[in-house]
Amino acid sequence: MPPRLTVILKGLAVPLLLLAALEGYARGPGRDSDALAPPSKALLALGQAAADGSLWGATAFTLGSAAAGLAIGFALALLLGTWLGLSARAGRWSFLTVELLRPVPSVALIPLAMLVFGFGARMEFSVVAFAVFWPLLVLVQAAARQVDPRLLEVAAALQLGPAARFAKIVLPAMLPRLFVALRLAVAIALVVAVTVEIAANPHGMGYAIMLAQQSLDPALMLAWLFWIALVGFAVNALALWLQQRAARRMGAAG
Amino acid sequence: MNRVNRVAWRDTVPSLLVLAALLALWWLASHGQWVSRVFLPTPEATLASLREGLAGGELLQQTGQTVLRMLQGWLLACVAGVALGALIGISPAARGWLQPMLEFVRPLPASAVMPLAISIFGLGPNMVLFVVAFGAMWPVLLATLHGFAHVEPRLREVAAALQLPALDFVRKVGLPSALPDVLAGMRLSLTVSLIVAVVGEMIASQPGLGQAVLLAARSFRASELFAGIVLLGLVGFAANALLAAAERRLLRWQRP
Amino acid sequence: MTVAPGGGEPILRFDGVAIHLGGREILSPTTVDVRRGEFVCIIGPSGCGKTTLLRAAAGFVAPSAGRVLRNGQAVHGPSREAAFVFQDYGRALLPWRSVAGNVGLALEAAGVPAAERAPRIAQVLQTVGLAAHAGKFPLQLSGGMQQRAQIARCLAQQPALLMMDEPFGALDAMTRESLQDEVSRLVRERGLTVLFVTHDLEEAIYLGDRVIALRANPTAAKPSVAAIVDIGIPGPRSQLETKEHPEYLRLRRELYQYLSH
């Protein structure tokens, strides 16, 4: 048996065993539970949600809000972080302010976002944007700081304006590290989006799973739990692949 | 991750000026009604709410509740996470069977487990504690696993050459070697603990800062909302700073 | 040499030991005895299996054929009796323990009670000249001092056999020379048997009672062991005089051929 296959099978053995145990329990002694359902029923519920479109709608909402928040947060962090990284003085002087604002947990802003935007996409992606902005700021700043000073001298010698300097010299130099930062931000964005939905926003995958629980439908709830885990895994794997590909093509980051 | 080296003294004044400028901006924005007063309270109003809340006791109590919840869940998570992570990390066989499953669960948002927890525990403090502990366990477990799986092979050989008993190996070589990873995992876990505690309070209406800010928003009391956000920021800041200081102390040998 | 190698049962015997790694035969079946108190140096070009042979002696590697016997007993794994000094000393010291702590680890592993440990640690640190640095951490020490710390830990095991894997390869010439003399002295004082791997021919002749030269890519016609030569240089060794001694120079010429190819 090829080694790759053995690794995969070995990795699946324990989870499958656990699922089988759950199946047995949920069909037997746990029959009337509101919390547990047989995985087979959960799979059916998942199939049904896929068929009637609710699966795709909710997933699209969550992914869309996460992406929008990520885009906004990333763009802002890129601009500010590059400036703070290139200008040592700006970096040092802003350190205190950033360190004081950074630890505010993004979930603390959910009620504020609710107040300002009501429910919906804007409320969600604004919280996501806040959540990804701070770690991205730190990472972008570090990436900008590590741009080879020689390249900056080249930019000065060519008398490039700030926009051209950024686009042609600084940004390409930072690119490998930006992909690493992006990977981290993608993970955060998805988690925060789902969290906002669970806490407040009646849209998306987080709301779907809460609704399933409230309707006392454990099969659907477990289906959503599995689906959320799967989506998270897939998105993270994609981000990792992207990062590794970028690293190979552009030279490895630090 | 290494943050910028501590700011030198001559940067203190400009740094404070930057902070002051930001506060001034806030003051202008709120007084000038650039944003509705409903959403953006004035700094003074926020400060007043803070003072009232802390002196009168309610905000103080709520902060205490949130911190307690965060710490309880975090400690449980650390004990379970380090123990499991060490056991699995040390054994290549265990890793082979379990690591893929753990990697699959890693990206799952901790809050996603809340509906399941509600079905089991109902809407109460136990539910929140369970989810906090469960969510916070993963960063510590995975970091510990990584630390123990990557003990310097040369040190393994040294331990074998000295015929060091297995338990001693874990205590004297494995754990100190994994400590940097474990501490980093614990720091991440603390962040998760705070977040999940706040969300749990919001959903299950448990006393704490999470509930406080939610109620303030619902009643359109912006200054109380902001006061709560400030306090949550302070809790996050203090927790992280204390843990980072402990980390530096424990890892002194890394920077001779 | 002041202590003549003892007679009787060899302390270490390679009995038809062959080692295959990654599909290749690194070491062809080799039979060699090491007598008690001997200082045996193993030289050879890279890939000849000298480190592998050493690791087999220490019990880190199981031979693909034949056996390694220590005091007549087959070796199944590492043992406290056979201390091993690694070339990459930086990785072989616990960075979170001080020098004294690292040496102490050997004593803790042997079950020495706490009260006894401190004086023994102090004594062994004195021997290697690190008494003043007992409280320092490995990252605070120079390469030579780190290697001495490792040697100190090995000595604290009170081994019968000391195995050294190119221990001075990463050090500068002056440190290397002073450590060579120190190790020579320490080993003589304690009557230790030493198996010393090096790529430095001069070092091998300077330190050893016997030199084993190995070949890379052994075949049936040209097995791993190319030569085993007794070092008959009279009198105590000294960095300046010994290296001008005619016997030294003759040996150097004779053994030089085994280093190339």
Residue in C58, C79, C88 nearest the CB of B163: C79
Per residue in C136-149, pLDDT (tens digit) is 999 999 999 999 99
How many Cβ pairs within 8 Å bridge chains A and B? 173
Q: Do C105 and B163 touch (CB under 8 A)?
A: no
- Asked if residue B256 lies in contact with residue C99, where contact means CB atoms within 8 angstroms, the answer is no
Please check the confidence at residue B108 and state whether its pLDDT lies above 90: yes
**Domain interval for residue A57:** 41-250
pLDDT exceeds 80 at position B204 = yes
State how far residue A216 is from chain B, nearest Cα, in angstroms.
Answer: 8
What is the distance in angstroms between the Cα of B234 and the nearest Cα belonging to chain A?
Answer: 7
pLDDT range class, residue B158, cuts 50, 70, 90? very high
Instruction: Let me know: does C98 contact C133? Beta carbons within 8 Å.
Output: no
Indicate yes or no: CB of A198 within 8 angstroms of CB of B199: yes
C-alpha A251/C-alpha B15 separation (Å) is 36
User: At how many degrees (to 10) do helices B92-105 and B125-149 cross?
Assistant: 130
Give the pLDDT band of residue B27 (cuts 50, 70, 90). Answer: very high
pLDDT digits (tens, 9 = 90+) for A116-148: 999 999 999 999 999 999 999 999 999 999 999
Is residue A246 within 8 Å of B118, Cβ to Cβ?
Answer: no
Residue-wise pLDDT tens digits, A28-75: 888 888 889 999 999 999 999 999 999 999 999 999 999 999 999 999
Distance from CA of B246 to the nearest CA of C (A): 16
* Side chain identity, residue B67: V
pLDDT of residue C220: 82
pLDDT for residue A112 is more than 50: yes
Searching chain C, which residue's CA lies closest to the CA of residue B253?
A: C96
CB contact under 8 A, B15 and A97: yes
Chain C adjacent subunits, 3+ CB pairs under 8 A: B
Task: Report the pLDDT averaged over residues C4-13.
Answer: 72
Selecting from C58, C92, C96 the residue whose C-beta is nearest the C-beta of B176 gives C96
Q: Is there a contact between B220 and A115 if contact means CB atoms under 8 Å apart?
A: yes
CA atoms within 13 A on the CB side of C147: 21
Inter-chain contact B199–A13, Cβ cutoff 8 Å?
no
The answer to whether the Cβ–Cβ distance between B116 and A35 falls below 8 Å is yes
Mean pLDDT of all residues in A171-198: 94
| A10 falls within a domain | no
Q: How confident is the model at residue A250 (pLDDT cuts 50, 70, 90)?
A: confident
C47: left (phi over 0), alpha (psi -120 to 50) or beta: left
Q: Is C218 within 8 Å of C25 (Cβ atoms)?
A: yes
Taking CA atoms, A59 is separated from A185, A192, B138, in Å, by 18, 14, 24
Which pLDDT score is estimated for B2?
A: 47
Q: What is the DSSP string of B104-134?
A: HHTTS-GGGGHHHHHHHH-SSHHHHHHHHHH
The reply to whether residue C108 touches residue B154, judged by beta carbons under 8 angstroms, is no
Q: Do the bridges between strand C225-230 and strand C65-70 make them parallel or antiparallel, or are there none, so unpaired?
A: unpaired
Name the nearest CA neighbour of B110 among A248, A206, A239, C176.
Answer: A206
Which one, of A192, A234, A194, A186, lies nearest residue A210 by Cα?
A: A194
When scoring A95, A188, A192 by the number of chain B Cβ atoms within 10 A, the one with the most, hence best to mutate, is A95
Q: Are B160 and C86 in contact (CB under 8 A)?
A: no
From the list B8, B15, B210, the residue facing A96 with the nearest CB is B15
Give the pLDDT band (50/70/90) at residue A5: confident
Contact A115 B39 (CB under 8 A): yes
Q: Which of A227-231, B56-60, C163-167 has the lowest mean pLDDT?
A: B56-60
Q: Under an 8 A CB cutoff, do B115 and A225 touch?
A: yes
Percent of chain C scoring above 90 in pLDDT: 74
pLDDT at B57 (0 to 100): 72
Residues with Cβ within 8 Å of C21's Cβ and at least 6 positions away in sequence, in order, are C52
- Which chain C residue's Cα is nearest to B161? C78
Class of domain C7-81+159-261: alpha beta
Q: Could you count the other beta carbons within 10 Å of the beta carbon of residue A63?
A: 17
Q: How close is the nearest chain B Cα to the Cα of A194, in Å?
A: 7
Distance of alpha carbon C195 from alpha carbon A48, whole angstroms = 72
Whether B104 and A7 lie within 8 Å, measured CB to CB: no
Q: Which of B114, B119, B213 sits opposite A218 (nearest CB)?
A: B119
Residues A153-184 pLDDT 10s? 988 898 888 888 888 889 999 998 999 999 99
Chains A and B touch (3+ CB pairs under 8 A): yes
Would you state the pLDDT for residue B255? 78
Running DSSP on this structure, what letter comes out for residue B3? P
pLDDT of residue C222: 85
Q: Do B4 and A104 touch (CB under 8 A)?
A: no
Give the nearest partner residue to A111 out of B113, B194, B225, using CB atoms. B225
State mean pLDDT over A191-200: 96
Tell which wins on pLDDT, C47 or C107: C107
Q: What is the pLDDT of residue B5?
A: 54
Q: In this predicted model, what pLDDT tens digit does every residue of C176-232 receive, in sequence order?
A: 999 999 999 999 999 999 999 999 999 999 999 999 999 888 888 888 888 899 998
Residue A30 lies in a domain: no
Residues B61, B228: Cα–Cα separation, whole Å: 12
pLDDT of residue B3: 52
In this predicted structure, what is the pLDDT of residue C7?
56
Task: List Cβ neighbours of A4 (8 Å cut-off, separation of 6 or more).
Answer: none
Mean pLDDT value across residues B61-71? 96
Question: Tens digits of per-residue pLDDT, C57-77?
Answer: 999 999 999 999 999 889 999
Measured between alpha carbons, how far is C109 from B169 in angstroms, rounded to an integer?
9
Range A104-110 average pLDDT: 96
Are A13 and B97 an interchain contact pair (Cβ–Cβ within 8 Å)? yes
For residue A20, what are the CA distances in angstroms to A8, A27, A202?
18, 11, 33
Q: HSE-up of A203 (CA within 13 Å, CB side)? A: 18
The per-residue pLDDT of chain C, averaged, comes to 90
**Token pair of A86 as six digits:** 């290139």
- Chain C residues with CB inside 8 Å of B255's CB? 139
Rg (CA), chain C: 18
Q: Does a structural domain hold residue A24? A: no
B254: number of Cβ within 10 Å: 13
User: How far is A228 from B135, CA to CA, in rounded Å?
Assistant: 15
Q: Which of A10, A12, A104 lies closest to B236 in CB terms?
A: A104
For B173, the closest of C58, C94, C136 (CB atoms) is C94
Determine, for residues A199 and B115 on separate chains, whether the beta-carbon distance falls below 8 Å.
Answer: no
Nearest to B109 by CA among C182, A66, A238: A66
- Per-residue model confidence as pLDDT tens digits over A74-97: 999 999 999 999 999 999 999 999
Q: What is the mean pLDDT of chain B?
A: 92
Residue C238 confidence (pLDDT): 87
Chains touching A by CB (3 or more pairs below 8 Å)? B
Query: Total domain count for chain A?
Result: 1
Which segment of A27-36, B2-11, B219-228, C78-87 scores lowest on mean pLDDT? B2-11
**CB C83 to CB B168 under 8 A?**
no
Tell me how many residue pairs between chain B and chain C have CB atoms under 8 A apart.
65
The residue among C96, C98, C158 with the most chain B CBs within 10 A of its CB, best to mutate, is C96
Touching subunits of B (3+ CB pairs, under 8 Å) are A, C
**What is the pLDDT confidence band of residue C240, given thresholds at 50, 70 and 90?**
confident
Distance CA B163, CA C41 (A): 26
Q: Which helix (H) or strand (E) holds C196?
A: strand C193-197
pLDDT > 50? residue C2: no
For testing contact with chain B, the best of A4, A59, A107, A134 (most B CBs within 10 A): A107
For every residue of B148-199, DSSP letters joined together read HHT--HHHHHHHHHTT--HHHIIIIIIHHHHHHHHHHHHHHHHHHHHHHHHH
The shortest C-alpha distance from B190 to chain C (Å) reads 25
What is the Cα–Cα distance from C162 to C168, expressed in whole angstroms?
A: 15
Neighbour count for residue A232 (Cβ, 10 Å): 23
Is the separation of the CB atoms in C258 and C43 below 8 Å?
yes
Per CB-CB distance under 8 Å, the chain C contacts of B162 are 80, 105-106, 109-110, 157
Those of residues 88-127 in B touching chain A at CB distance below 8 A are 96-101, 103-109, 111-116, 118-120
Domain map (residue ranges) of chain C: 7-81+159-261, 92-158
User: Cβ B154–C91 below 8 Å, yes or no?
Assistant: yes
Query: Could you tell me which chain B residue has the CA closest to the CA of A8?
Result: B100
Side by side, the strands of the sheet bearing C65-70 are C24-34, C12-21, C65-70, C73-74
Residues 6+ apart with CB under 8 A from B238: none
Q: Is A114 helix (H, G, I), strand (E, B) or coil?
A: helix
Per-residue confidence band for C15, with pLDDT thresholds at 50, 70 and 90: very high
In B, minimum Cα distance to C141 occurs at: B256
**Among B37, B43, B54, CA closest to B19:** B43
Facing A107 at nearest CB: one of B18, B198, B240:
B198
Q: What's the CA gap between A152 and C129, in Å, rounded? A: 50
Helix (H, G, I), strand (E, B) or coil at A202: coil
B220 touches chain A (CB under 8 A): yes
Q: How far A215 CA lies from chain B's nearest CA (Å)? A: 11
Q: State residue C9's pLDDT score.
A: 81
- pLDDT of amino acid A248: 84
Could you please state the CATH topology (level 3) that the domain comprising B38-254 is classified under: MetI-like fold (1.10.3720)
Check if the beta carbon of residue A217 is closer than 8 Å to that of residue A41. no
In this structure, what token pair is assigned to residue B248? 């530096």
Q: Which residues of B touch A14 (CB under 8 A)?
A: 97-98, 101
Please tell me if residue C108 touches chain B, with a CB cutoff of 8 Å: yes
